[in-house]
């Protein structure tokens, strides 16, 4: 399995060394982790510890407090461009952004930066933000977190149809919504069957507590995925994320 959405921020790094994180991945049967952090160096630290297993995203927040104000920080894009020069990065994010701020120039500059360097953008936002990213750079690859902010199969299907080659969606923190008693609801199963190569499974370890319960959350995910037909299971657990990050996995020493 590739867990396609993880955080290793300062509180988690105080609680768990890189070796302890790897032990948690092993215990849960997770081969690779797509991980971001605030501050951003922590994800790189994890990557250097286990380069074959970590897919690092450059977090743009110095601390979690920046979540609500980053898009108004005019100096941010230049700092991010400079940080990308140090270390190996598969993408940028997670960026939290909502429709009212979708037209901010700082967002536009980060989208252009990601596109120019063939980096994946992990976005936590509504459909308007995703549309804006593709209006700025149609070729950029986007990982849309948490089945979007309004997780409705019809809305997601429309977005996947509109962006057939560049949009991937992660299922993190939505297990109870899509599989409330452990079995995938029919409308979600139909959506995953219709788009077998576009969704990726993920935990989203946003807190120390979430890391403590990592294996249990992975088990919850496997519980609704494993009854699905084998190709769909493989896609959700591994193959779709491997395709999303194929450039990094083929040549991690970037730029």
CB of 209 to Zn ion, least distance (A): 14
CB of 6 to Zn ion, least distance (A): 8
72-111 binders of Zn ion (CB under 5 A): 94
Identity of the residue, 126 or 204, whose beta carbon is nearer to Zn ion in the bound complex: 204
Dihedrals phi, psi of 40, to nearest 5 degrees: -65, -25
Question: Binding string to Zn ion for residues 23 to 62, with x set by CB under 5 A, is what?
Answer: ----------------------------------------
Joined tokens for residue 46:
């994890």
Identity of the residue, 43 or 228, whose beta carbon is nearer to Zn ion in the bound complex: 43
**Distance in angstroms (rounded) separating the CA atoms of residues 112 and 115:** 5
- 3 is an interface residue for Zn ion by CB under 5 A: no
Identity of the residue, 178 or 202, whose beta carbon is nearer to Zn ion in the bound complex: 202
Q: How many beta carbons lie within 10 A of that of residue 210, not counting itself?
A: 16
Question: Binding string to Zn ion for residues 198 to 237, with x set by CB under 5 A, is what?
Answer: ------x---------------------------------
In the block, which residue shows the tokens 């370890």?
205
CB of 122 to Zn ion, least distance (A): 8
Nearby residues of 138 by Cβ (< 8 Å), 6 or more positions away: 166
Please give the C-alpha separations between residue 208 and each of 13, 18, 165, in angstroms, as whole numbers: 9, 14, 35
* Contact (Cβ atoms closer than 8 angstroms) between residue 123 and residue 130: yes
Total H helices, total E strands in the chain? 14, 8
Identity of the residue, 204 or 233, whose beta carbon is nearer to Zn ion in the bound complex: 204
Residue ranges binding Zn ion (CB under 5 A):
94, 204
């Amino acid at each position: 399995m590739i867990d396609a959405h993880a955080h290793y921020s300062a509180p988690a790094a105080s609680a768990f060394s890189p070796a302890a994180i790897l032990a948690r991945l092993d215990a849960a049967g997770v081969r690779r982790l797509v991980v971001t952090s605030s501050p951003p160096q922590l994800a790189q630290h994890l990557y250097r510890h286990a380069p074959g297993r970590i897919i690092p995203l450059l977090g743009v927040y110095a601390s979690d407090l920046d979540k609500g104000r980053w898009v108004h920080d005019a100096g941010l894009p230049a700092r991010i461009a400079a940080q990308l020069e140090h270390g190996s990065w598969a993408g940028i994010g997670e960026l939290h952004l909502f429709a009212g701020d979708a037209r901010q120039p700082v967002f536009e500059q980060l989208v252009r930066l990601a596109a120019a360097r063939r980096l994946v953008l992990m976005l936590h936002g509504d459909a308007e933000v995703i549309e804006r990213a593709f209006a700025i750079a149609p070729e950029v690859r986007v990982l849309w977190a948490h089945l979007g902010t309004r997780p409705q199969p019809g809305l997601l299907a429309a977005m996947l149809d509109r962006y057939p080659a560049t949009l991937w969606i992660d299922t993190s923190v939505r297990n109870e919504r899509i599989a409330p008693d452990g079995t995938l609801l029919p409308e979600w199963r139909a959506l995953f069957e219709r788009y077998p190569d576009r969704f990726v499974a993920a935990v989203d370890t946003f807190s120390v507590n979430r890391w403590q319960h990592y294996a249990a959350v992975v088990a919850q995910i496997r519980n609704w995925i494993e009854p699905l037909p084998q190709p769909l299971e493989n896609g959700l657990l591994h193959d779709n994320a491997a395709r999303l990050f194929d450039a990094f996995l083929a040549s991690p020493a970037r730029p």
